[in-house]
Structure 1
Amino acid sequence: MSRNTSVQNATGGSDPDRLPNLVTIVGRGIPSNFEIAVDGEIEMIADDPVSEGTVVSGGAAEGTIEVGVQRFRFSGQMANVHVVDWNGTEMSESASTPEVHVDYGVATR
């Protein structure tokens, strides 16, 4: 079982009351890029955020994924999701792009 720690913003840790929503990106074995934006705050949940190669700033996060899962807690509403596979084909046109799951009002797991 892995331990989850959050990439922390200046305001502190990943408090489910402050960041009650969750977005999960699931890789499908093909290198892909993602960008997610929310109209509130966003923080990445990861064992080693630096090794994930994901940039989180303000209400946006962007990075790459091939296999595995990347999770983010956020406040507000999802504003935008943009996912492309290794050759730039967008989510709706490629079965290889990662799955994106958005859950509102979930407790920390």
Structure 2
Amino acid sequence: MARDTPVQNDAASTDAEPLPNLVTIVGRGVPSSFEITVDGEIEMDAADPVEEATIVSGSVAEGTIDVGVQRFRFDGQVTNVHVVDWNGNAVPESSSVPDVHVDYGVPQR
């Protein structure tokens, strides 16, 4: 997945303007892996990315999900989304991979 040296971003930083766009990953009850690449900056929209077991490195976020929701704020455009189930199968071979929603221009809550 990510080839750079991974670093953990703290999305809860109050000093910076929030990134304008949002990617939402929704688990379907099956352990799955994901990688999101953008042409700008990406950060996890969570209080503790380490607790979520997600790695964010510059313009790439990767992690795992089985149930629940993980959100990422970003600027620029999404350039790649790769999701696979626990067997490494992607859509359309697997109906168990997480749903991915990309929304542009989403205000911070």
Corresponding residue of 1:3: none
By how many angstroms is 1:47 displaced? 3.0
Quick one: distance in 1 between partners of 2:108 and 2:53? 23
Alignment pair present for 1:68 and 2:68: yes
| 1:31 alignment partner AA | P
Deviating 4+ runs (over 6 angstroms):
none
Q: Distance in 1 between matches of 2:16 and 2:98?
A: 24
What letter matches 1:8 in structure 2? D
**Unpaired stretches in structure 2, ≥5 consecutive residues:** 1-8
Count of residue correspondences: 100
> Which residue in the other structure is 1:20 paired with?
20
Per the alignment, residue 39 of structure 1 pairs with 39
SS of the equivalent of 1:22 reads strand
Provide closer, same or farther for how the CA distance between residues 13 and 65 of structure 1 changes in structure 2, counting only shifts above 3 A: farther
In the TM superposition, residue 49 of structure 1 has moved relative to its aligned partner by 1.4
Matched-pair identity in %? 69
Task: Give the whole-Å Cα distance in 2 for the aligned partners of 1:58 and 1:30.
Answer: 28
The structure-2 alpha-carbon separation of the partners of 1:13 and 1:27, relative to structure 1 and needing over 3 Å to count, comes to: farther
Normalised by the length of structure 2, the TM-score is 0.84
Residue segments in structure 1 that go unaligned for 5+ positions in a row: 1-6
AA partner of residue 68 (structure 1): G
Matched, 1:89 2:89: yes
Measured against aligned partners, the alpha-carbon deviations of 1:53-95 in whole angstroms (never above 9, x if no partner) come to 1100000000000000000000000000000000000033211
User: Which has more helix, going by share of residues?
Assistant: 1
Show the counterpart of 1:8. Answer: 10
The CA RMSD measured in Å over matched residues stands at 1.8
Could you tell me how far apart the structure 2 residues matched to 1:13 and 1:96 are? 38
Cα distance change, pair 84–14 in 1 and its aligned pair in 2 (3 A): farther
